Structures are given as structure tokens and as C-alpha cells.
């Protein structure tokens, strides 16, 4: 295999259980004009094209199913502008989390990020894939304001107020309104996995960086008790960041990427830990923390919860969570999802908090049936919009070098998602087995999506084989 073939072959695999076909071509555009040229060529010659923004992928969505052209957007990594007054930043798809957060920090601003994203993860990719944000407030539920996308025809489309005359350089609008004019297009490209176009820049929400913050850890061996407590806290709108981790996830993160520390943490902590962070605002931060802190402790006492600002005697975990949540996982440390076994398969969905304990129990049973290690299970639970629903991500840890484990994990993926399909959950961004299961059952919905696809991509060149296309 020569150097060119080796480079192309890299795009036929990722960090998921799945594999693809080696692409025939690799294009690395530097701007939207070059993206349009590549897409027009692909459309004219009927060549599949797969857009790639991040330097790492976990779900198999960028693996070519028919060969074609990899459109690597890594060179398009400019932070085009930051509008502090309107709390927005306009960025290209190759901008990664560390780059953006470090840039904003100097302006005392911050973008809302998911739970410790990988350092190679693209911000635009995170938002398009609907990765949940750590602050479960309504105002952050939709982090995308406006965007520019190259359609499969090669034409440009701008959404919301970015579609106003003169945008983006000399627009009469402020670029922050995601709706209209007329139809609301911006949600069309969320969760589309590159099947309807290529985003070349995105306006995202940013917020003032809190000057003061306090982090609390609430532990329990019973998920139901912890969920009830978190649900009450959310209804009272107390705190900013709020989420729940199972023991193995908590130990991996709290260890900072150190294997021995992770094993030690597992012995010291309980089965479940809620992390809640109270932060001050830009003005009068001490007063905000004071009244929220008082209410938080009153509710903790009411529920009989053991609330601490540290988990262990060393307190190392407090620094990791207090100062690390507003950014990616350190690039010089093994990624936290890989620390337990080397590989991690995620299964994600939305559901209600009453439904969660039963589903967690079923996940353990599926591990047992498949012959996999029951202890190698992580769970991340993220409230959404003050507890209206809960994003849940199961982490099934496995050794990627063990082919037998990988095959068992593929079997588990199919069987467990089949069970989830009838367990009152929503597959918000379907990957792997979720995709075929969902679209096979939601036939009217799938047929409608195919009609939309036919309008936008009649030649069917954009990332074929994804979703129901």
C-alpha cells in the first residue's frame, strides 16, 4: 500500500464498532468557495461525498459506505468574529473546542460545551449532532443561531437573520435570530449526519464566563433517590451545570486520565454521583451564589443527601470539575472514555426520569446475556430544560483489540436498541442499529425524510447510507 492509499484508508475506520470502505479521493478545502467547487464536481459526476470536520469520530457517521470523496474541513478553522454584545461567535467547521474556549476566555466569555469533549472534536460537529450541553436551561437548549450551508447542488443557503440582504459582512440584521425569514431551515441540518449539505460557518450562542463558582458532589447507591433530588433542584432552577455519572465514568474523569487513580477512585465512591455547579453572574456574583447555595443546602437536607465539595481526601476531582468543565478533555491525557478498556460504544436516547432506573437495570441484564463484563458499564445522565426530559448515554466499555468482544458488542447494540425502541425513549440522533430500527418502524416519517432528501439532493451524493437514505 502506497502513501496515498494509506492516507485514504485512515478514513475507512474510526473509534466506533463499525468499518467503512476506503474513499477514492480526499479534498481539503480552505474556504466555502472551494467547498462549492468540490460539491459541484461530485454532483456532476455522481460521486458520493462525505463531509468530515472533527479529527476523531465515535459513531461511524463519516465512514464511506460507497467510497467517493472525503471532504476534510479541518483547514477551515477560523474564528471569524466574536460579538460580545449579542453574545455570539461565528466559527468555521474545523474550529475545535480548546481553540474556541481559549479564544473566548480572554474576552471573559464561554461557549456551552458537552461533557468533556475530545480535544479533536469540532464545535460545529458537536452542535449538529445535538450533543447535550452541561447547563440544562431553556436558553441554551438550542445553541445554534444562524449558519451557512453549501447545498448538494453547490448553492449557498443562509438561515434565519443571516439570510438578510448583505449578510454576513454588511447585513441589516444582527445575525442572532435563527427563525425565518419565512420557513425555519436551521433545524433541517441538525442530526442530518452530512446528508443534506455542508455547513461552512455557524453562529453560536456564547455566554459571560462566571467569575465565581462552587461545585458540589452528591453521592448515592440508589439512582432513583438521586434522580428525585436532581429533578427537584432543576424545577427550582438552582445551579448551572448539572449531571449524573455512574461510578466508572466518575472515576475515569476524576482521575484526570491516570489508570491507577481511576481504580482507587472506584473503591472510594458510591455507585452514582450528581455534579452540580453554582456560578455567579457577571454582576453581583457573590449574592447570586449566596442565595442559590442556601436553597441548595435546604433541599439537600430535605432529601437527606450527603452534599460535599469534594469526593476524596485529595480533592483533586474538585479542581478537574470546577475549572475543567468549560472545555475539552486535556489533549495530553488518555481520553476518559478510553481509560477503562481502550474502547467505548455509546448508546444514547432521551427519556423521562421515572423511566431511567428500569432501563439501567435492563442494560446490566443485556451485558450478562451477551457474556460481557457487567462492571464495564458507564452511564451519563443529563437533564434537559430544567428536567423536562433526560438525555441518557450508556457507555459500554470494551477492548477494541479483542475481536470476540467487538462482535459481542455489535450483538448487544442490536438487541439493546431493539429493547429501547419499545421503552418510551426517543432516539434523537440515531447511530448504528438505532437508525435502521427507528426508520423501519416509523415508515411515514422515513418516507417524508426521503422526499426532503430528494428535493435537496436528487443525485443522492451526500453521505449515502446514513439515516434512511
Question: Residue 433 falls within a domain, yes or no?
Answer: no
Tell me: do 194 and 308 sit in the same domain: no
Give me 413's grid cell. 447494540
C-alpha to C-alpha distance for 206 and 193, rounded to whole angstroms = 24
C-alpha to C-alpha distance for 278 and 202, rounded to whole angstroms = 29
Give me 18's grid cell. 463499525
Other CB atoms within a 10 A radius of the CB of residue 237 amount to 13
Do the beta carbons of residue 90 and residue 201 sit within 8 Å? yes
Q: How confident is the model at residue 260 (pLDDT cuts 50, 70, 90)?
A: confident
Tell me: do 184 and 293 sit in the same domain: no
Report the number of distinct structural domains present in the chain. 3
pLDDT at 395 over 70: yes
Report helix angle 356-370 to 223-235, nearest 10.
Answer: 140
Global pTM reads 0.95
C-alpha to C-alpha distance for 212 and 281, rounded to whole angstroms = 8
Question: Residue 438 falls within a domain, yes or no?
Answer: no
Other CB atoms within a 10 A radius of the CB of residue 6 amount to 10
Tell me: do 280 and 312 sit in the same domain: yes
The pLDDT > 90 percentage for the chain reads: 77
The pLDDT > 70 percentage for the chain reads: 99
- Overall average pLDDT of the 437-460 stretch: 95
C-alpha to C-alpha distance for 174 and 160, rounded to whole angstroms = 10
**What is the full DSSP assignment across 369-389?**
HHT--TTSEEEEEEEETTTTE
- Overall average pLDDT of the 418-430 stretch: 92
- Overall average pLDDT of the 144-153 stretch: 96
Return the residue matching grid coordinates 442530518: 192
Give me 116's grid cell. 468533556
Here the CATH number for the domain that contains residue 98 is 3.30.465.10
Tell me: do 218 and 153 sit in the same domain: no
- Overall average pLDDT of the 93-106 stretch: 97
At residue 437, the pLDDT reads 93
Residue that terminates a domain, selected from 404, 421, 438: 421
Question: Residue 399 falls within a domain, yes or no?
Answer: yes
**What is the full DSSP assignment across 386-406?**
TTTEEEEEEEEEE-TT-HHHH
Question: What are 384's strand-pairing partners?
Answer: 389
User: Whole-number mean pLDDT of the chain?
Assistant: 93
Helix (H, G, I), strand (E, B) or coil at 235: helix
Q: How confident is the model at residue 113 (pLDDT cuts 50, 70, 90)?
A: very high
C-alpha to C-alpha distance for 32 and 321, rounded to whole angstroms = 37
C-alpha to C-alpha distance for 71 and 215, rounded to whole angstroms = 41
Burial environment of residue 28 by CB neighbours within 10 A (0 to 12, 13 to 18, 19 or more) = middle
Residue that terminates a domain, selected from 161, 176, 208: 208
The H-or-E segment that residue 52 falls in is strand 49-52
- What sign for the dihedral angle of Cα 166, 168, 173, 178? positive
Tell me: do 58 and 146 sit in the same domain: no
Tell me: do 178 and 280 sit in the same domain: no
Q: List, for residues 271-300, the tens digit of each pLDDT value.
A: 999 999 998 888 888 898 999 999 999 999
C-alpha to C-alpha distance for 274 and 221, rounded to whole angstroms = 11
Question: Residue 452 falls within a domain, yes or no?
Answer: no
C-alpha to C-alpha distance for 57 and 365, rounded to whole angstroms = 28
Q: List, for residues 32-50, the tens digit of each pLDDT value.
A: 999 999 999 999 999 999 9
At residue 310, the pLDDT reads 87
Q: List, for residues 11-26, the tens digit of each pLDDT value.
A: 999 999 998 999 999 9
C-alpha to C-alpha distance for 371 and 439, rounded to whole angstroms = 29
Tell me: do 111 and 164 sit in the same domain: yes
Tell me: do 271 and 358 sit in the same domain: yes
Q: How confident is the model at residue 1 (pLDDT cuts 50, 70, 90)?
A: low
Question: Residue 436 falls within a domain, yes or no?
Answer: no
Answer with the residue of higher pLDDT: 121 or 163.
121
Q: Where are the alpha helices (DSSP H) in 269-373?
A: 285-302, 316-324, 356-370
Q: List, for residues 195-242, the tens digit of each pLDDT value.
A: 999 999 999 999 999 878 899 999 999 999 999 999 999 999 999 999
Answer with the residue of higher pLDDT: 305 or 180.
305
At residue 191, the pLDDT reads 93
Those residues whose C-beta lies under 8 Å from the C-beta of residue 6, and which sit 6 or more positions away, are none
Residue that terminates a domain, selected from 41, 72, 103: 72
Question: Residue 462 falls within a domain, yes or no?
Answer: no
Distances (CA, A) of 292 to 64, 231, 233, 288, 311: 49, 16, 10, 6, 21
C-alpha to C-alpha distance for 81 and 104, rounded to whole angstroms = 11
Give me 160's grid cell. 434565519
Here the CATH number for the domain that contains residue 361 is 3.40.462.10
Tell me: do 122 and 104 sit in the same domain: yes
Asked which of 180-184, 383-387, 427-431, 453-457 is least confident by mean pLDDT, the reply is 180-184
Question: What are 394's strand-pairing partners?
Answer: 347, 379
Q: Which domain holds residue 101?
A: 79-208
Question: Residue 426 falls within a domain, yes or no?
Answer: no
Do the beta carbons of residue 112 and residue 136 sit within 8 Å? no
Here the CATH number for the domain that contains residue 49 is 3.30.43.10
C-alpha to C-alpha distance for 465 and 469, rounded to whole angstroms = 6
Return the residue matching grid coordinates 432521551: 350
Beta strand spans in 107-228 (E): 109-111, 144-150, 156-158, 198-208, 213-220
Tell me: do 60 and 188 sit in the same domain: no
List the 389-398 sheet strands across, edge first.
Answer: 307-308, 213-220, 272-279, 242-246, 377-384, 389-398, 343-351
Distances (CA, A) of 277 to 26, 215, 270, 274, 304: 44, 4, 19, 10, 19
Q: List, for residues 311-367, the tens digit of each pLDDT value.
A: 877 777 888 998 889 999 999 999 999 999 999 999 999 999 899 999 999 999 888
Tell me: do 295 and 156 sit in the same domain: no
At residue 314, the pLDDT reads 74
Distances (CA, A) of 257 to 116, 248, 324: 12, 12, 13
Return the residue matching grid coordinates 466574536: 82
Do the beta carbons of residue 235 and residue 228 sit within 8 Å? no
- What sign for the dihedral angle of Cα 62, 64, 189, 441? negative
Which residue, 143, 177, 135, 141, is CA-closest to 160? 177
Do the beta carbons of residue 325 and residue 241 sit within 8 Å? yes
At residue 104, the pLDDT reads 97
Question: Residue 468 falls within a domain, yes or no?
Answer: no
Return the residue matching grid coordinates 455566554: 207
Tell me: do 195 and 310 sit in the same domain: no
Amino acid at each position: 500500500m502506497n502513501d496515498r492509499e494509506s492516507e485514504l484508508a485512515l478514513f475507512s475506520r474510526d473509534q466506533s464498532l463499525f468499518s467503512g470502505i476506503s474513499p477514492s479521493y480526499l479534498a481539503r478545502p480552505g474556504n466555502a468557495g472551494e467547498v462549492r467547487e468540490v460539491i459541484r464536481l461530485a454532483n456532476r459526476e455522481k460521486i458520493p461525498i462525505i463531509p468530515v470536520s472533527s479529527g476523531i469520530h465515535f459513531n461511524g457517521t463519516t465512514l464511506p459506505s460507497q467510497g467517493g470523496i472525503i471532504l476534510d474541513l479541518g483547514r477551515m478553522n477560523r474564528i471569524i468574529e466574536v460579538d460580545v454584545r449579542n453574545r455570539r461567535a461565528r466559527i468555521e467547521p474545523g474550529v475545535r473546542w480548546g481553540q474556541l474556549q481559549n479564544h473566548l476566555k480572554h474576552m471573559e466569555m464561554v461557549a456551552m460545551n458537552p461533557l468533556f469533549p475530545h480535544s479533536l472534536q469540532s464545535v460545529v460537529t458537536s452542535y449538529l449532532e445535538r450533543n447535550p450541553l452541561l447547563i440544562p436551561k431553556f436558553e441554551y437548549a438550542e445553541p445554534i443561531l444562524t449558519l451557512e450551508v453549501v447545498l448538494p447542488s453547490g448553492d449557498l443557503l443562509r438561515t434565519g437573520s443571516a439570510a438578510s440582504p448583505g449578510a454576513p459582512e454588511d447585513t441589516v440584521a444582527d445575525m442572532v435570530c435563527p427563525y425565518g425569514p419565512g420557513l425555519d431551515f436551521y433545524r433541517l441540518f441538525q442530526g442530518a449526519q452530512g446528508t443534506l449539505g455542508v455547513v461552512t460557518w455557524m453562529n453560536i450562542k456564547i455566554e459571560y464566563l462566571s467569575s465565581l463558582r462552587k461545585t458540589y458532589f452528591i453521592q448515592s447507591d440508589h439512582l432513583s433517590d438521586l434522580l428525585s433530588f436532581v429533578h427537584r433542584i432543576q424545577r427550582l432552577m438552582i445551579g448551572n451545570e448539572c449531571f449524573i455519572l455512574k461510578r466508572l465514568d466518575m472515576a475515569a474523569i476524576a482521575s484526570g486520565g491516570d489508570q491507577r487513580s481511576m481504580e482507587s477512585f472506584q473503591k472510594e465512591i458510591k455507585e452514582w454521583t450528581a455534579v452540580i455547579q453554582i456560578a455567579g453572574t457577571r454582576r453581583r456574583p457573590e449574592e447570586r451564589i449566596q442565595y442559590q447555595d442556601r436553597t441548595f443546602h435546604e433541599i439537600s437536607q430535605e432529601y437527606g443527601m450527603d452534599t460535599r465539595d469534594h469526593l476524596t481526601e485529595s480533592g483533586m476531582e474538585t479542581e478537574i470539575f470546577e475549572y475543567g468543565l468549560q472545555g475539552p478533555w486535556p489533549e495530553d491525557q488518555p481520553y476518559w472514555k478510553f481509560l477503562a478498556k481502550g474502547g467505548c460504544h455509546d448508546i444514547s436516547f432521551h427519556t423521562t426520569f421515572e423511566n431511567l432506573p428500569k432501563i439501567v437495570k435492563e442494560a446490566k441484564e443485556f451485558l450478562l446475556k451477551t457474556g460481557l463484563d457487567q462492571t464495564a458499564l458507564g452511564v451519563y445522565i443529563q437533564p434537559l430544560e430544567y428536567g423536562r426530559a433526560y438525555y441518557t448515554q450508556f457507555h459500554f466499555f470494551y477492548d477494541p483489540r479483542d475481536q470476540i468482544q467487538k462482535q459481542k458488542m455489535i450483538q448487544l447494540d442490536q438487541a439493546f436498541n431493539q429493547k429501547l425502541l419499545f421503552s418510551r425513549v426517543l432516539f434523537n440522533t440515531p447511530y448504528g442499529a438505532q437508525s435502521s430500527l427507528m426508520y423501519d418502524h416509523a415508515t411515514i416519517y422515513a418516507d417524508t425524510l426521503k422526499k426532503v432528501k430528494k428535493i435537496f439532493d436528487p443525485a443522492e451524493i451526500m453521505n449515502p447510507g446514513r439515516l434512511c437514505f
